[in-house]
Copies of this chain bind each other. A is one copy, B any other.
Amino acid sequence: MADIESTSYTKQRILDAAEALFAEKGYKAVTVREIVKTAGCNIAAVNYHFGQKRSLYLQVFEYRWIPRALRVQEAFRQNLEKSGSVDTAGIVRALALAFLEGPLSEEERIRHNQLMARELAHPSEAFELVVKRVMRPFIKEVLELLRMSVQRPMDEQELVLSLLSIFSQILYFSSARMPVSLFTGKRYTSGFRERLCEHIIAFSLRGLGMGEEGEEC
């Protein structure tokens, strides 16, 4: 991540274009021609910088997705620190805020979550990388925090499943925007996003068996 920033500007443009297109349409549905057209360069540039389409896809994760995921994790830690007390409510709120309002622009967040939703549904080599470098350490970290804070008796498996329930909502509400808009009758304005965030926090906290506590965003 340090050296890639010093490399060719064209390479950066290709990575950006590729990520946006892969997120929107999926690997197979995107053509290299489309990518270079968006990036404003020639088709041979992809081969020069990445060798082949597949390795471009993997490097999108390596140099774009993973660093961004680490920024989200860092935001979670900062949210937690700001909230002072490390209780369950604080953890869930810090999680939801980091993933739904966090350090990413709205566009970046959609791209980020869609790319992940695609890998979840159809894991590839990229997924292994993400599990190892991002998900496994983060899940471990959050589980440890939750384990200490949760009051109600709860075995390890229930804790893991509850965390996955929380992630499932975060992913759903940020990936499946169309059905959410359809059934709530609301467009994704910033006010509505805050409302969604509050809902996920409240629903999940109760789901974890914590009564109502702080409710402001």
Contacts and interface: CB of A to CB of B under 8 A. Distances in A.
Interface of A: 24-29, 114, 117-118, 120-123, 127, 131, 135-136, 139, 157-158, 160-165, 167-169, 171-173, 175-176, 178-180, 182-184, 186, 195-196, 199-200, 203-204, 206-209
A189 to B, nearest CB: 14
B176 A120 contact: yes
A18 to B, nearest CB: 16
Chain copies in the assembled complex: 2
A127 B181 CA distance: 14
A120 B178 contact: yes
Chain A binding site: helix, strand, loop or mixed by DSSP? helix
Contact of A169 (B165, B183, B199): B165
B196 A161 contact: yes
A118 B114 CA distance: 11
